[in-house]
Each structure stands twice: as C-alpha cells, then as structure tokens.
Amino acid sequence: LMAYAYMFMRDLERLGQMEERMNYSPIGSCALAGTTYPIDRVYEAELLGFKAPVANSLDGVSDRDHVVEDLSDLALVMMHLSRLSEELILWSSWEFHFVRLADAYTTGSSIMPQKKNPDMAELARGKTGRVY
C-alpha cells in the first residue's frame, strides 16, 4: 500500500506545481496584445489573489498548455486510483483474503449472503476509464 501512498503524494505534488504555474493573472491582456487603458496590472492581479500578472499578454491569452498539462495530471491521478481499486478487488477476494473491506464499502450478494462485493472499488475502477 505504501507504493500507492507515494503515487498519490507525487500526484498532489504535480497538482500543486500546476496551481503555482497557473497563478498568474491575464487581466489587462485583452484579446491579444494588451490595452492602451491606464491600468495597473500588478495591483489588479494582487486584488484578485494572483501571484502576479502574466509576463506576456499574447502567451497569457492564447496558449493552452496549462489545459493539456492539467488534464494529463488528472489522468495520472485516475490511473493510480484505478490501479489501487483493482488491487483492493483482488486482495479482498476469497482467494487472497489479504484485506478486509468494511461493510460500508461493500454490498451483499443476492445469491450468496456471506459474500461481500467490493462495489466501491469496482465502481471507482470502472469510472476511471472514462477519463481516457
């Protein structure tokens, strides 16, 4: 399980780095090349809670690398969640009995009342595939 702890710690680190890279305000960049209005972009960025204004207005309004990077980072989170879910399903099976899932995260079988179905893990594993 520690392997997954490290995976999720890296995921959190990546998302934090992305937040840091996106913490620049495009206000005042307008549609392309800035504005002739006398505005204080540094002050506006500060008022809005940004670290600073973007350094280049064209880059600030036309580049979408942050969108692709964010989606990639979130896809990695989902891949790790899918892997963990698959392991929990396997480890909680009758053959392994490596982990025991609490009743809150399982449902009973209509045919075999003693059987516990790992619904939470199965649903998580299934839903993560939608990201790709």
Of 110, 23, 50, 122, the closest CA to residue 81 belongs to 122
Count structural domains, the chain. 2
Task: Give tens-digit pLDDT for 36-79.
Answer: 888 899 999 999 999 999 998 888 888 888 899 999 999 999 99
Kindly report the pTM of this predicted structure. Answer: 0.80
Are residues 87 and 56 part of one domain?
A: no
Domain that holds residue 129: 83-132
Are residues 46 and 4 part of one domain?
A: yes
Look at residue 14 and tell me if it is in a domain.
yes
Structural domain ending residue among the three candidates 63, 93, 108? 63
